[in-house]
Amino acid sequence: MKVQVAVVQMVSSEVLADNLAHAESLLAQAAMGGAQLVLLPENFALMGRDEKAKLAIMEMDGDGPIQSWLAAQAQRFGLWLIGGSIPLAAPDGRCYAACLAFNPAGQRQARYDKIHLFDVDLAGGESYRESRTIAPGRTPVAVTTPWGQLGLSVCYDLRFPELYRCYAGAELLAVPSAFTQQTGAAHWECLLRARAIENQAYVLAADQGGLHQNGRQTFGGSMIIDPWGQVLARLDQGEGVALAQVDMEFLQRCRSNLPALQHHRRQACCGAYQEI
């Protein structure tokens, strides 16, 4: 079985309506290219002036203009749509960075809340504290598509391979992101290819890619990677769509010829190490 998939790269601004209009245009481009499964990047609806900006547009789960927009776009273009991340209200006044999956009928099929939060101080004075406004999720989530299981994650999750091991056996992995220029240049591609190789799965990675109104520079480099670690499609900077064909027969050959998933000794590897 083969299917055309797409990842959408954006340079989202501080204006919600503008971002949704840009995203709609890019989704139309993906649909024209034959895509049946499309991934939007993290924060596709808003890259605000500061960390609190997302709280002004956060929605209650199941009710809000961004969620309605995602459902409508999935239905309009007749595709599976993975909505990178949007802010959904958390009980403590913060929001969850929620990745939502919709089927071609516009029905929501899954919600994943970003588990690992980007609280870091990078070289050059670049600093982030996502936990000030984002509450961490607690549960890995995979959604059943016509082409197999799709494991959901968001951005900084990429650095934690144990999350993706929870999806062992899934055919597809989604990584919507807003990687910084600094970390993206150093680690983006090698981490994505590692997740594809070690899980013998197709990886769809949609990144933000450019200079935003808030002064933040994101890396771009959105790509689609096969289970052998080969990059099938890639973007550089700026808005765009990358398309590639996912081949489930090729995936099964990879897993059959090199049955690493069958050889994984989870209990032996995940216990406490022995000090000598």
**Which positions are catalytic?**
42, 114, 155
The helix or strand, by DSSP H or E, that contains position 255, with its residue range, turns out to be helix 248-257
In angstroms, the CA 30 to CA 177 distance is: 18
Cβ pair 92, 78 in contact under 8 A: no
3-state secondary structure 50-89: CCCHHHHHCEECCECHHHHHHHHHHHHHCCEEEEEEEEEE
The helix or strand, by DSSP H or E, that contains position 109, with its residue range, turns out to be strand 108-113
The helix or strand, by DSSP H or E, that contains position 180, with its residue range, turns out to be none
In angstroms, the CA 82 to CA 38 distance is: 6
Q: What are the CA-CA distances from residue 219 to residues 35, 73, 162, 185, 260 (Å)?
A: 24, 26, 24, 7, 32
Q: What are the CA-CA distances from residue 133 to residues 27, 36, 54, 125, 154 (Å)?
A: 29, 34, 8, 20, 16
Which residue in this structure is represented by tokens 């996502």?
130
SS3 163: helix
Cβ pair 190, 179 in contact under 8 A: no
